[in-house]
Amino acid sequence: MARSLPTVTPGETVTLQGWVHRRRELAKVTFLVLRDRTGLAQVVLPAGTPVPPEETTVEVTGVATANAQAPGGIEVTEATVTALTEDAETPPFELWRPELGVSLPTMLDHAPIAWRHPAQKVRWELAAASMRAFRRTLDAMDFTEIQTPKFVESATESGANVFKVDYFGRPAYLAQSPQFFKQQMVGVFERVYEVGPVFRAEPHDTVRHLAEYVSLDVELGFIEDHRDVLAVLREVLAGMVGELGPLAERAGADLPLVPDEIPVVHFGRALEIVGAPADEPDLAPEHERALGVWAREEHGSDFLAVEGYPMAKRPFYTHPQPSDPRWSNSFDLLFRGLELVTGGQRLHRLSDHEAALRARGEDPADYTAYLQAFRHGMPPHGGFAIGLERWVARLVEAPNIREVTLFPRDLTRLAP
Amino acid sequence: MARSLPTVTPGETVTLQGWVHRRRELAKVTFLVLRDRTGLAQVVLPAGTPVPPEETTVEVTGVATANAQAPGGIEVTEATVTALTEDAETPPFELWRPELGVSLPTMLDHAPIAWRHPAQKVRWELAAASMRAFRRTLDAMDFTEIQTPKFVESATESGANVFKVDYFGRPAYLAQSPQFFKQQMVGVFERVYEVGPVFRAEPHDTVRHLAEYVSLDVELGFIEDHRDVLAVLREVLAGMVGELGPLAERAGADLPLVPDEIPVVHFGRALEIVGAPADEPDLAPEHERALGVWAREEHGSDFLAVEGYPMAKRPFYTHPQPSDPRWSNSFDLLFRGLELVTGGQRLHRLSDHEAALRARGEDPADYTAYLQAFRHGMPPHGGFAIGLERWVARLVEAPNIREVTLFPRDLTRLAP
């Protein structure tokens, strides 16, 4: 199997495998830039040596030579080149240029080719490293990874925007989140996480919504309140940021500092800060941006947690704020003035769940499967969810979430 | 947040949180067995102390004392008990008994409660540890984790048994595997893996099929042939088995030894070994069992790879055996005589793909999205997929795969 470039030592005879990133035929010499999973290497060939067209996969054997001028710092001389396949067709864009420089639809139509561009590829590497650090941080805190079903029996969990499936002749729905399942599994493992797809039949065509995205879900039991949840979120973010250093540099991403304690403001106070009326039920995007600036100035932090969101705007299972049940023990985490994470404490008593459902005009009998765990003993608990693509989009400041999604799915796009 | 039992030192005053696993009121003393995420601890209370019913969540404060007689080896004396919620209702089965001892339907109907039983819980811990080791092994080999869409445009990939979704008013399908996507991503990252749900509209109600399961998918480029794929599979299995030691003991699972090289027999030879006719197109379950015995006797191995399956029984993208194109460069891995993994080399030339599709009466134009990557240069590549639940079922010798699936989905079951 192919050696990777970083393992090559100058002076040795090496065999490398990869793609023809670029070929340049000059009068006295032919250059081939080889691209493999780790980077680029320049191959020097006698003038007139036939080189397959760009993107053809090849094997190159020659002598490795250090050359600071060469891309990747390695040059291969006295080389022979063997094509591994038939000649590649000309790609829809020139992958060897420093910038891809094509429109978003062109990029998405040719996603499996566009992701080959080094500046695009590193963005997904940020996503992969984030998942790895997310899991490692939680593993170290005694969390158990779970995998919960995407087929659900009813559309009750949040009501709207669910996808309907023909399930052996009867209707089923695709889970909008693992929320109910992760809570039930707190009853087994106390601390759980899941990384997996969630499905939202979002009828809006916006730069930050997808019909399917990857959710990094966490839930834990035996908490005091939502502040314990926020403390775990802080550890997770610190773990993720700590993993991304070298990749962020390559991706041109400006990594945030994660403060030892994430600053928190109450929703009511947040409205005052941004000068919004005290009866405003939610924060508008311009409010979030203003709070981002405020957090930076007052706390020197890229992150700000807004706690106490009005109960009326939160799902039925949200735990109210004990001192004033108009507010909730839930929070949104703003990252540079944009909402990144929603989390909070959930109800843990069966009687509270039943009352909350009835207050919203719902029948607890429709939630029998979910409520079973509460019938037989659940601890105070809470959790949060991070949208993977949204996280990466914010890191690299991608204006559209589709730019950091391998194969985006939305109102109009189902392929490639 | 809750301390875990293993961090408790005899002599110290501790506060523990968990579930009332069992209460026993004797004439002179009351025992409470506390269960947390890590195990059990016995709490000794004066006779007549009120203890909430089983499964209620409680907080216990007292003095930790070593006691080899106590479950978990720790006893808490001079204790006070505080309930964290209202009293739990009596569970549908007694979780404190050594065996759950109920029928499979009862267990599945009450899955979130049944999983609390220590003997059941450790089975999922085997699954979680397997996923962790799978990823760690591959990360160390330069693989990149990917997340690919579950919504697909057409049902072409394998034709039958796909779930249909109402996708904003038009039909879409749920991916039966990430096969096409992982191959395309070999064109970007060379070596990729994905852990995620796959969806099979299996009309059969068997002990080994589910409508949704977790697939551990791997694909890598620049291989010689399927033997390179098998070598990676061997590393992955060794990594997984290496992680499971202490859990396997608790689960009563007999871990296999993973040989340095997994023995391989050709399909034609396998038919001879089991005494089947030479024109048999597939291995029947009794053949697989016989081969399992043979592998044990001849090679001292729990694993056996059968390579060269007839092309006619493999998907169109399978790479034929160069020396005889009736056979394929693919394999099944048998684990103790049961199929666990399917893998192999795939076609990498556009022209081969087009010819293979036409030979099966299919129109390459229906595969435009998939074939795009091959149009623009792909290396020789291959991969495999392990079914997570099937792997765990084999380890613990669960007769039905549903016993090791958190919330199984099948022909009839959509809840809890």
Domain residue limits, chain A:
5-83, 113-404
Chain A interface test: which of B23, B58, B188 (most A C-beta within 10 Å): B188
Cβ atoms A43, A32 nearer than 8 A: yes
Measured in angstroms, the CA of B279 and the nearest CA of chain A are apart by 33
The first and second tokens of residue B410, run together, are 């099948």
Please tell me the class of the B113-404 domain: alpha beta
Which chain A residues are closer than 8 Å to B139 by Cβ?
Answer: 132
- Helices B179-189, B368-375: axis angle to 10 degrees equals 20
Q: Would you say the CATH fold of B113-404 matches that of B5-83?
A: no
Question: How far is residue A88's CA from residue A53's CA, in Å, rounded to a whole number?
Answer: 6
Q: pLDDT tens digit string along B375-402? A: 999 999 999 999 999 999 999 999 999 9
A409: nearest CB among B151, B164, B376: B151
Check if B61 contacts A (Cβ < 8 Å). Answer: no
Which chain A residues are closer than 8 Å to B84 by Cβ?
Answer: 222, 348, 379-380
Cβ atoms B337, B323 nearer than 8 A: no
Does residue B346 have a known ligand-binding role?
yes
A113–B4 CB contact, under 8 Å:
no
Beta pairing class for A191-199 and A144-145: parallel
Check if B49 contacts A (Cβ < 8 Å). Answer: no
Q: Which residue of B has its CA nearest to A143?
A: B37
Phi-psi map region of B194: left, alpha, beta (phi>0 left; psi -120 to 50 alpha):
beta
User: What pLDDT does residue A64 have?
Assistant: 93
Q: Which residue of B has its CA nearest to A210?
A: B149
Say which amino acid occupies A216.
L
The first and second tokens of residue A304, run together, are 């700000």
Across A26-120, the runs of DSSP E, i.e. the strands, are 29-36, 39-46, 57-66, 74-83
Measured in angstroms, the CA of B365 and the nearest CA of chain A are apart by 13
Question: How far is residue B353's CA from residue B171's CA, in Å, rounded to a whole number?
Answer: 26
User: Chain A window 171-210: which residues touch B at a Cβ cutoff of 8 Å?
Assistant: 172, 174, 181, 184-185, 187-191, 195-197, 199, 201, 203
Question: How far is residue B356's CA from residue B241's CA, in Å, rounded to a whole number?
Answer: 38
Does residue B342 have a known ligand-binding role?
yes
B196: nearest CB among A196, A220, A414: A196
Which chain B residues are closer than 8 Å to A216 by Cβ?
Answer: none
Mark B51-60 as b/e (b = at least 16 C-beta within 10 Å): bbebbbbbbb
Question: How far is residue A159's CA from residue B181's CA, in Å, rounded to a whole number?
Answer: 31
Residues in the annotated binding site of A for ATP:
200-202, 208-210, 339, 387-390
Question: How far is residue B192's CA from residue B221's CA, in Å, rounded to a whole number?
Answer: 9
Across B337-351, average pLDDT: 97
The first and second tokens of residue A140, run together, are 């170290």
Mean pLDDT of chain A: 95
Check if B269 contacts A (Cβ < 8 Å). Answer: no
Check if A225 contacts B (Cβ < 8 Å). Answer: no
Residue B356: φ, ψ to 5°: -65, -40
Q: Which residue of A has its CA nearest to B198?
A: A150
Superfamily of domain B5-83: Nucleic acid-binding proteins (2.40.50.140)
User: What pLDDT does residue B113 have?
Assistant: 98
Cβ-Cβ contacts under 8 Å for A215 (sequence gap 6 or more)? A177, A178, A194, A195, A196, A197, A198, A385, A386, A387, A388
User: Chain B window 298-317: which residues touch A at a Cβ cutoff of 8 Å?
Assistant: none
Beta pairing class for A381-387 and B13-25: unpaired
Check if B121 contacts A (Cβ < 8 Å). Answer: yes
A191–B37 CB contact, under 8 Å:
yes
Across B356-385, average pLDDT: 96
The first and second tokens of residue B136, run together, are 């760690």
Q: pLDDT tens digit string along B270-300? A: 999 999 999 999 999 999 999 999 999 999 9
Q: Residue B395 CA to chain centroid, in angstroms?
A: 10
Question: How far is residue A146's CA from residue A192's CA, in Å, rounded to a whole number?
Answer: 6
Of the pLDDT bands very low, low, confident and very high (cuts 50, 70, 90), residue B5 is confident
Question: How far is residue A66's CA from residue A163's CA, in Å, rounded to a whole number?
Answer: 55
CB half-sphere exposure, B291, CA atoms < 13 A = 30
Q: What is the DSSP string of B159-198?
A: -SSPPEEEETTEEEEE-S-SHHHHHHHHHHHSEEEEEEEE
Cβ atoms B60, B76 nearer than 8 A: yes
Say which amino acid occupies A215.
S
Q: Which of A187, A370, A381, A348 is nearest to B86 (CA)?
A: A348
Residue A132: φ, ψ to 5°: -60, -45
Check if B37 contacts A (Cβ < 8 Å). Answer: yes
Strand order in the sheet with B303-307: B144-145, B191-199, B212-221, B381-387, B338-346, B330-335, B303-307, B264-266
Check if B233 contacts A (Cβ < 8 Å). Answer: no
Q: pLDDT tens digit string along A71-99? A: 778 899 999 999 999 999 999 999 999 99
Which chain A residues are closer than 8 Å to B185 by Cβ?
Answer: 112, 115, 406
Q: pLDDT tens digit string along A24-38? A: 999 999 999 999 998
Which chain B residues are closer than 8 Å to A388 by Cβ?
Answer: 147
Structure-token match 């505080």, residue found:
B82
Q: Which residue of B has its CA nearest to A38?
A: B189
Cβ atoms B292, B334 nearer than 8 A: yes
Check if A250 contacts B (Cβ < 8 Å). Answer: no
Residue ranges for chain A with pLDDT beneath 70: 1-3, 156-159
Say which amino acid occupies B128.
A
Q: Is the ipTM of this complex over 0.90?
A: yes
Q: pLDDT tens digit string along B110-130? A: 999 999 999 999 999 999 999
Structure-token match 């105070």, residue found:
A380
Measured in angstroms, the CA of A190 and the nearest CA of chain B are apart by 6
Does residue B346 surpass a pLDDT of 80?
yes
B56–A377 CB contact, under 8 Å:
yes
Residue A12: φ, ψ to 5°: -85, 155
Question: How far is residue B344's CA from residue B332's CA, in Å, rounded to a whole number?
Answer: 8
Chain A interface test: which of B407, B410, B413 (most A C-beta within 10 Å): B407
User: What pLDDT does residue B159 have?
Assistant: 61
